[in-house]
Amino acid sequence: MAPPATTRWRAIVSMIVMLLLIIPSVAIYCDEDDCYDLLGVSQSATQSEIKKAYYKLSLKFHPDKNPDPESKKQFVKVANAYEILKDESTRGQYDYAIAHPEEVFYNAARYYHAYYGHKTDTRAVLVGLLLILSAFQYLNQWTRYHQAVDMVKKTPAYKNRLRALEFERSGGATNKKKGHKQLDKKVDEDLDKELELQITGAEKPSVWELLGVRLILLPYTIGKLLLWSSCWFWRYNIKQVTYSWEDASYLTQSSLRVPMKAWKNIDESTKEDLIRRCLWKKHNMENYQSEIRKESKRRR
């Protein structure tokens, strides 16, 4: 009978840990050799002494000057040891690994972070990340929009509207060859344009709505908002003029907490009635809400 999956995973993890503990953490720097021994210097050697030792050994083991096949391998080891010890940061990490060989994971993490960590400019990384996020955002919006359009096209309501529009375009005459199976492509395209304005929650993707574009235009947006706020304060708080129709519409929409897209879909007569009520004033809003509650109870 095979052991449970949890037991097998625990055994694998235990084996990995045992292997890491067996291999000394300093081995990731100069393999099984000591970096100081490779250069023939002590651990307390100065940077000048390390540099001189390296130049001396590099001349000795350089493949162009030493035909011995083993000299090339030794030259690579000496160069690697010098790369580690010439930098104070990596040398400090190596000295710490020598002093604390039991901290296998910590020493390995410091080594790989130093040699394989991201050395790219942080600004470039942020710009790249922003571009990737914007691309995914656009792709997601595009997919949702076309999925919504495909779903609407499969509904009976869409097909009925398409037939009605074709009937209206043809002046009441029907094409027997086409029947109801193959409709005019031009009519289909015209109705698609109308659908673009009616599908809420899955709007057609726009470049201006992308996160990257919004961040680029953020200073302009903030400046525009400050200018609008200043003009509003001067016009209606200082001069105390009457609200324009557009501003009264904005105040009504904000007071009702209706999203802008939903507000645009309200018929004009209802909008005019709501705006004339001056719902941004507290007592008018209270009266309107009271009427809504009474109407709701009456319908029940």
Better-scored residue on pLDDT, 24 or 154: 154
The CATH number given to 35-116 is 1.10.287.110
pLDDT for residue 20? 45
Q: What is the pLDDT of residues 197-251, one digit of tens each?
A: 556 666 778 888 888 889 889 999 999 999 999 999 999 989 989 999 999 999 9
Better-scored residue on pLDDT, 164 or 22: 164
pTM beyond cutoff 0.95: no
Q: What is the pLDDT of residues 98-148, one digit of tens each?
A: 888 878 778 777 777 766 655 556 777 788 888 999 999 999 989 988 888
| In the chain, domain spans | 35-116, 122-172+179-205, 242-299
Chain centroid, CA 33 distance in Å: 45
pLDDT for residue 82? 92
DSSP summary character for residue 204: P
pLDDT for residue 167? 74
Q: What percent of the chain has pLDDT over 70?
A: 77
